[in-house]
Amino acid sequence: MLELQRIRNEKEAVLEGLKKRNIDAAATITKLLEVDQEWRLSKAELEGVSAELNQIAKEIGDLFKQGKQEEANAAKSKTADLKEKESTLKTKVDGLDAEMTQLLYQLPNVPNELVPAGKNELDNITVLEVGSKRIYDFEAVPHWDLAKKYDLIDFELGVKITGAGFPIYKGKGAKLQRALIAFFLEEAEKAGYEEFIPPLVVNEASGYGTGQLPDKEGQMYYVNEDDLYLIPTAEVPLTNIYRDVILPSEDFSIKMTGYTPCFRREAGSYGKDVRGLNRLHQFDKVEIVRIEHPSNSEKALEEMIDHVKGLLEKLGLHYRILRLCGGDTGFASAMTYDFEVYSAAQEKWLEVSSVSRFDTFQSTRLKLRFKTADKKTQLCHTLNGSALALPRIVASLLENHQTPEGVIVPEALRKYTGFDIIN
RNA sequence: GGAGAGAUGGCAGAGCGGUUGAAUGCACCGGUCUUGAAAACCGGCGUACCGAGAGGUAUCGGGGGUUCGAAUCCCUCUCUCUCCGCCA
């Protein structure tokens, strides 16, 4: 959620920024400021009436103490009108308040100045490409065929047990999952992230805290009986650890990591995009989350990018980094870098990581703040990224490291897998 | 699942219809004293919103109600604890 203060003070800059998302928010913001104006006036009026009532109540209390019953009772009659007025104003102020919140929820984050304007993925900017496309001297096979050939993943069996998008990993396939999780967690730990194992279901307040609610309600699995949501990413429980927290000083840098399964309904997906491991309802991911002083979030983002680069390089994967354009940047993000790995067999780039800074967009909702040196409270910045999500990494590893003899396991992974080839 | 108890400031813990944003202790910050520190003493010390400011309003788990007035009474929701049952 954008800070109301910011919209008041920098209306033009906010509008300009949102244009990069291909959004014209002029009407919403004009309306918002109108409501805000009226809200402030009504609120001042309401508080005046409340102050008057409080004053009278105090006087009546004093009169009773002095035994002046009649005067006290006389004073009571004065309150009827004021109470009526207070109640009306209260209803009005609450209504305006709700209307403002509603409008604020509609506005996405203002993109960082580096974010290019644009509509969709075609307008993203490639900022770095490392490695080059592998040349195969045999016909490259897509990962779903390799998974079947080496009996690593059984998609049909997953359909039997649960449904499409819930694969069953077997044997070396299962072990590869475990190895990747362990590898990612240890790399994160080396980079200074503390590991957490959070709950996989969260309450409504947490959903609102990181911005999955109210807009993306349909993307989460919902447990009606207990009013809980299955997490779509570890970002939700990890970031919400710091909901309603005021850090005691400005000297902080919080780095968290966690492995969790992630659950996404992916309503509306179909066709070749969902083939094999490309898009699943349940998948494994190691997430990194940071809570930073505003002055450090740029550096933090760079560090996270370097971390993810390191992972991909250790896995021997050819990748590129994209700075997403306004239109392709997520609702809550101020700037997002996507990492993509090239799949020769599928002849396309697969998104394997997304690293974002949210500035104060999440912390506004989370009420996540810190105390400045002069005792003021100020909003923190939040950032997060996948480091990494498993399915497309597995797809990339299988496809890019395939040989006629089998799939070669990257050196860095061998101590976790215990085998160096899948055949 | 059944029965009971409870939810107060960073923590502990009073208050149980009247001027209480809230006693007291601890923690924390500033000061006096000291070569320095400790102790002692003095002062300060939640959050949010409105306001240029003075100040005002809200907040004692959430929501609603009774009352001139609610942390205190009533309703409701959520959560926690204890005992019983079940169980990895």
pLDDT tens across A362-409, in order? 999 999 999 888 788 899 999 999 999 999 999 999 999 999 999 999
Q: Give the integer Cα–Cα distance in Å for A260 and A95.
A: 40
Q: Which of A42, A74, A105 is the last residue of a domain?
A: A105
* Residue A71: band (very low, low, confident or very high) from pLDDT cuts 50, 70, 90: confident
Share of residues in chain A with pLDDT > 90 (%): 75
Assess if residue A110 is contained within a domain: no
Nucleotides of B under 7 A from a protein CB: 18-19, 47-51, 56-58, 68-69
State the pairing for strand pair A335-343/A228-230. unpaired
| Whether residue A180 is found in the same domain as residue A132 | yes
Q: Are residues A302 and A405 in the same domain?
A: yes
Indicate whether A44 and A147 sit together in one domain.
no
Q: How far is the CA of A225 from the C1' of B1 (A)?
A: 16
Residue A47, CB, strand B, below 7 Å: yes
Q: Is A370 exposed, middle or buried (0-12, 13-18, 19+ CB in 10 A)?
A: buried
Residue with tokens 């509609």: A106
Residue with tokens 């309802």: A281
Nucleic strand B near CB of residue A66 (< 7 Å):
no
Q: Which nucleotide is nearest to A75 (CA to C1')?
A: B68
- CA-to-C1' span, A200 to B85 (A): 28
- Structural domain containing residue A17: 4-105
Q: Within 13 Å and on the Cβ side, how many CA atoms surround A100? A: 20
Instruction: Indicate if the pLDDT at residue A273 is higher than 80.
Output: no
Q: Is the CB of A48 under 7 A from strand B?
A: yes
A57 and A186 both lie in a single domain: no
Sequence-ordered list of residues with C-beta below 8 angstroms from that of A5, at least 6 positions apart, any chain? none
Q: Is residue A170 part of a domain?
A: yes
Whether A378 sits with its Cβ under 7 A from any strand B atom: the answer reads no
Q: Are residues A356 and A411 in the same domain?
A: yes
Measured CA to C1', the nucleotide nearest A79 is: B68
Please check whether residues A83 and A125 belong to one and the same domain. no
* CA A360 – CA A260 distance, rounded (Å): 25
Q: What domain count does chain A have?
A: 2
State the pLDDT at residue A268: 66
**Mean pLDDT computed over A350-355:** 95
User: Is the minimum distance from the CB of A40 to strand B below 7 Å?
Assistant: yes
Q: Which of A70, A105, A140 is the last residue of a domain?
A: A105
Judge whether residue A317 has pLDDT over 90: yes
For the entire predicted model, the pTM comes to 0.92
What gap in Å lies between CA A302 and CA A299, rounded to an integer? Answer: 5
Q: What is the CATH number of the domain that holds A93?
A: 1.10.287
Of the pLDDT bands very low, low, confident and very high (cuts 50, 70, 90), residue A248 is confident
CA of A363 to C1' of B1 (A): 40
**Cα torsion angle, A138, A139, A140, A141, sign:** negative
Check: CB of residue A393 under 8 Å from CB of residue A356. no
Question: In terms of domains, do A35 and A156 share one?
Answer: no
Q: Which residue, A25, A43, A45, is CA-closest to A95?
A: A43
Q: Are residues A60 and A88 in the same domain?
A: yes
DSSP state of A103: H
Q: What is the CATH number of the domain that holds A177?
A: 3.30.930.10
Q: What pLDDT, on the 0 to 100 scale, is given for residue A77?
A: 83
- Nucleic acid strand B within 7 Å of A58 CB: yes
Q: Does the CB of A371 sit below 7 A from strand B? A: yes
- Whether residues A175 and A309 share a domain: the answer is yes
Tell me: pLDDT of A140 over 70: yes
Angle, helix A297-314 to helix A171-190, in steps of 10 degrees: 140
Give the integer Cα–Cα distance in Å for A351 and A342.
9
- The per-residue pLDDT for A272 is 61
Residue A190 within any structural domain of the chain: yes
Residues A277 and A312 in one domain: yes
- Per the domain annotation, does A112 fall within a domain? no
Note the pLDDT of residue A214: 80
Assess if residue A113 is contained within a domain.
Answer: no
Pair (A89, A140) in one structural domain: no
- Please tell me whether residues A154 and A257 are part of one structural domain: yes
Mean pLDDT (chain A) is 92
Q: What's the CA A203/C1' B22 distance, rounded, in angstroms? A: 32
Q: How far is the CA of A86 from the C1' of B71 (A)?
A: 22
Q: How far is CA A75 from the centre of its chain?
A: 55
Residue A121 has pLDDT above 80, yes or no: yes
**Domain contains A259:** yes
Top-confidence residue, A225 or A258? A258
Phi-psi region of A128 (alpha: psi -120 to 50; beta: other; left: phi over 0): beta
The pLDDT confidence band at residue A67, using thresholds 50, 70 and 90, is confident
* DSSP states of A25-75: -HHHHHHHHHHHHHHHHHHHHHHHHHHHHHHHHHHHHHHHHTT-HHHHHHH
Domain end residue (candidates: A105, A138, A162) = A105
Q: A160: burial class by Cβ within 10 Å (0-12, 13-18, 19+)? A: exposed
Sheet with A222-223: strands ordered across: A201-202, A228-230, A222-223
CA of A365 to C1' of B80 (A): 25
Tell me which residues from 382 to 421 on chain A have a beta carbon below 7 angstroms from nucleic acid strand B: none
